[in-house]
DNA sequence: GTGGTCTAGACCACC
DNA sequence: GTGGTCTAGACCACG
């Protein structure tokens, strides 16, 4: 699998997995009906605790993104693609909203905020695809 | 004092204090040489434990924003105004930059991102940014 | 662990820990990537409160010397070895510089100062490795 | 009086006064039999609490450096000059000894220590007379 | 009165 | 098991 885990960062590992699986489905990297790696295998590959992978998969099941196939494992559920794209949008938008709130709390004017956004968007274009 | 603490949110109380003191200095609400509220007094007003306030003040001291005046209290250190203004900008800008990066990872085009920002800025004026 | 705390002295316990961890890394006794003793374990060994250890570790983290590995513990951050060696040198040199300044303020001549240093260095040599 | 107090520093104010009076006597700036400024006057001049001045004078009395002259105030006691010079030496030497101890604890070799001292002594020659 | 340190014990999220 | 946060209460030095 092409996931990357940052154990030292502040984002919980299980959230990183949930996020990356979700995004992979949204991108079409994982297709409906496809089997995701087994808990043990993924845990081995990412060098993390199987419990953590299990927890992520459980959450993805709760969200209806993954579903169990008896005797086989977990597969991407029907309708997940659309759902994941929508979820991805929401995630990003909520984050923007959060940051925007912070900015407003800081006594920055709408104009100052817009300027900052423009500056940031112009700047950070060619970064590493990761992190 | 004019600080407001959200005990329910996920942001640690001590960080909220650090943030608000920093911003107060950046805004000029607290001026260089002025004494900040005493640990005990602020703790009383915010209805939190003095240790928590002390922790915030200690961090601000480590950052060079506050300095102790023995037996009197803590005062805003010289040069803090500029430092706090810069810190405030960096805090916000870094957060924006982070989110922007996430957005780009999600295969969103620059235009889609801009549209989202516009929508959020128009919308979320008096909303809770919570997820 | 090989740490020694002097609870009676005027140096705060948490600073002693910070210092000893820093020096341990500088000496290579603690290597990059290695986990430091857990908060609770070290507290038990030194017979002090876990909060005190936590405070030391938090400071070392703020300095970038340690970093948390979620659910595992705290490890020596990359680049810490060099940083700690440099910090150790600075700590000592600054202290010397301070004392030297005091000596000069006291109208002592350079020669008198040198003589004093020689005397002190000759004296306190083969004491117990401790203290 | 020509004393200088640093209220923000880590050295207690009362100690700064004791030290400066002691050194003034050692230097001959204050002579045996001379009256030191009254508690109130010195407190006013240094913009500090009279209690603090009183505490310093009390300590100097305890050390036999100052003595009360009924109806007049406090004067430099007989024999103080020599005593203060000796005390000054001790103060400096003890500080050196302390720092040296720290240096040895840091696993620095005698040679490294000597080199550091030489470097520091060569460097810091033309500094401000104060602090 | 002030801040600084330390202890004791609790709860949380994460692995 | 791990660290992170917070509370409660104590003691100290300083002014």
Higher pLDDT, C87 or B130: C87
- Kindly state the DSSP code that residue D37 receives in the 8-state scheme: P
Query: Alpha helices of chain C — where are they, by DSSP H?
Result: 13-27, 39-46, 50-62, 80-105, 110-123
- Residue nearest F3, CA–C1′ metric: C73
Q: Which residue has the higher pLDDT, A128 or D13?
A: D13
Chain D residues interacting with chain B (CB cutoff of 8 angstroms): 7-8, 12-13, 49
Do the two chains D and B touch, given a threshold of 8 Å on CB pairs and at least 3 pairs?
Answer: yes
What is the per-residue pLDDT for B43? 97
User: Is-contact B46 B3, C-beta < 8 A?
Assistant: yes
Residues 5-64/C with CB within 7 Å of nucleic chain E are: 7, 12-15, 48-52, 55
User: Nearest 5°: phi and psi at D75?
Assistant: -125, 160
% of chain A surpassing 90 pLDDT:
56
Average pLDDT of the segment spanning C64-76: 95
- Amino acid D1: pLDDT: 58
**Nearest by CB: C88 against D93, D96, D106:** D106
- SS3 assignment, position C22: helix
On whether the CB atoms of residues C3 and C42 are closer than 8 A, the answer is yes
Q: Do C68 and A8 touch (CB under 8 A)?
A: yes
The pLDDT tens digits of the residues spanning B51-102 come to: 999 999 999 999 999 999 999 999 999 999 999 999 998 888 888 888 888 8
DSSP character at residue A37: P
Q: How far is C6 from chain D (nearest CA, A)?
A: 14
Beta carbons within 10 angstroms of residue D96's beta carbon: 24
Per-residue pLDDT 10s for chain D (131 aa) are: 578 899 888 899 999 999 999 999 998 999 999 999 999 999 999 999 999 999 999 999 999 999 999 999 999 999 999 999 999 888 888 888 888 888 887 778 888 888 888 888 887 665 443 43
Q: How far, in Å, CA of B131 to CA of A87, rounded?
A: 12
Banded model confidence at residue A130, pLDDT cuts 50, 70, 90: very low
Residue B73 carries which DSSP code? E
List, in order, residues 6 or more apart from C79 with CB less than 8 Å away. C32, C64
C-beta of residue B87 within 8 angstroms of C-beta of residue B60: no
pLDDT digits (tens, 9 = 90+) for B102-118: 888 777 788 888 888 88
Nucleotide nearest to A15 (CA to C1'): E14
Using alpha carbons, select from B18, B33, B20 the residue that is nearest to residue B79: B33
Q: Which residue of D8, D13, D49 is in closest CB contact with B68?
A: D8
Exposure string over B101-119, b if 16+ CB within 10 A, otherwise e: bbbbbbebeeeebeebbee
Q: Which two tokens stand for residue D129?
A: 């007379």
pLDDT, position B128: 46
Beta-carbon separation of C69 and A12 below 8 A: no
DSSP structure string for B2-56 = -----SSSSS-HHHHHHHHHHHHHHHTSS-TTPBPPPHHHHHHHHTS-HHHHHHH
Nearest CA in chain D to B77: D8
Pick among D9, D98, D99 to test the C interface (most C CBs inside 10 A): D99
Statement: residue C126 has pLDDT above 70: no
The pLDDT assigned to D130 comes to 41
**Sign of the CA dihedral running D104, D107, D110, D116:** negative
Nucleotide nearest the Cα atom of B37 (by C1'): E2
Question: Measured on CA atoms in the order D46, D48, D49, D55, is the torsion positive or negative?
Answer: negative
Interface with A, mutate which of C70, C71, C73, C75 (most A CBs under 10 A): C70
Contacting chains of D (3 CB pairs or more, <8 Å) are B, C
| pLDDT over threshold 90, residue B131 | no
Rounded average pLDDT over C26-53 = 96
Whole-model pTM above 0.85? Answer: yes
Opening angle at CA C79, ends C23 and C76, nearest 5: 60
Distances in whole angstroms, Cα of residue B30 to Cα of each of B46, B83, B96, C15, D78: 18, 13, 27, 31, 51
CA–C1' gap, A39 and F12, in angstroms: 55
What's the CA–C1' distance between C34 and F4, in Å?
Answer: 21
pLDDT of residue C14: 98
CB B22 within 8 A of CB B60: yes
Tell me the CA–C1' distance in angstroms for D34 and F8: 53
d(CA A37, C1' F1) / Å: 27
In D, which residues are within 8 Å of C108 by CB distance?
92
Gap between the Cα atoms of C18 and C74, Å rounded = 14
Q: Evaluate whether D22 touches D8 at the Cβ level (below 8 Å).
A: no
* Encoded tokens for C13: 């316990």
Burial of D9 per CB tally in 10 Å (0-12, 13-18, 19+):
middle
Chain A CB contacts of B103 under 8 Å are 92, 96
pLDDT at C131: 39
Q: Measure C13 CA to E8 C1' (Å).
A: 17
Question: At which residue do the structure tokens 């909303």 appear?
Answer: B127
For residue A22, give Cα distances in angstroms to A4, D110, D114, D126.
Answer: 14, 61, 62, 65
**Residue–nucleotide distance: B63 CA to E3 C1' (Å):** 17
Residues in A closer than 8 angstroms to C75, CB to CB, are: 8
* Strand E, CB < 7 A, residues 48-67 of B: 51, 54, 57-58, 61
DSSP string, D91-106: HHHHHHHHHHHHHHHT
Q: What is the mean pLDDT of residues A12-38?
A: 93
How many other CB atoms are there within 10 angstroms of residue D39's CB atom?
19
Q: pLDDT confidence of A124, banded at 50, 70, 90?
A: low
Q: What is the pLDDT of residues A29-82, one digit of tens each?
A: 999 999 999 999 999 999 999 999 999 999 999 999 999 999 999 999 999 999
Distance of CA D130 to the CA centre of its chain: 12
In a mutational test of the C interface, the residue from D121, D125, D130, D131 whose CB has the highest number of chain C CBs within 10 Å is D121
| pLDDT value, residue A125 | 59
DSSP tag of D68? E
Nearest to C96 among D27, D105, D120 (CB): D120
Whole-number pLDDT of residue B127: 44
Asked whether residue D57's C-beta has any atom of DNA/RNA strand F within 7 A, the reply is: no
Stronger pLDDT, C88 or D124, i.e. the higher one: C88
Buried b (16+ CB within 10 A) or exposed e, C64-99: ebbbbebeeebbbbeebbebbbebbeebbbebbbeb
Distance in angstroms (rounded) separating the CA atoms of residues C65 and C87: 11
CA distances from C54 to C51, C90, D56 (A): 5, 25, 38
**Residue A65 near residue A18 (C-beta atoms within 8 A):** no
The pLDDT tens digits for B90-103 are 888 888 888 888 88
Whether the per-residue pLDDT at B126 is higher than 70: the answer is no
Q: Which of D120, D123, D126, D129 to mutate to test the interface with C (most CBs of C within 10 A)?
A: D120
Confidence of residue B124 (pLDDT cuts 50, 70, 90): low
**Which chain D residue shows the shortest CA-CA distance from C108?**
D89
pLDDT digits over A85-106, tens only? 999 888 888 888 888 888 887 7
Whether the beta carbon of C71 falls within 7 A of nucleic chain E: the reply is: yes
Tokens encoding C17: 């820990």
């Amino acid at each position: 699998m092409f996931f990357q885990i940052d154990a030292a960062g502040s984002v919980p590992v299980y959230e990183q997995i949930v996020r990356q699986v979700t995004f992979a489905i949204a991108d079409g990297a994982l297709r409906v009906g496809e089997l995701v790696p087994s808990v043990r295998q993924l845990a081995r590959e990412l060098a993390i605790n199987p419990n953590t992978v299990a927890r992520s998969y459980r959450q993805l099941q709760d969200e209806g993104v993954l579903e169990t196939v008896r005797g086989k494992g977990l597969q991407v559920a029907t309708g997940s693609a659309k759902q994941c794209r929508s979820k991805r949008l929401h995630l990003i938008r909520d984050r923007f909203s959060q940051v925007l709130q912070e900015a407003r709390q800081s006594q920055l004017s709408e104009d100052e905020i817009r300027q900052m956004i423009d500056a940031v968007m112009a700047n950070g274009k060619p970064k590493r695809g990761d992190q």
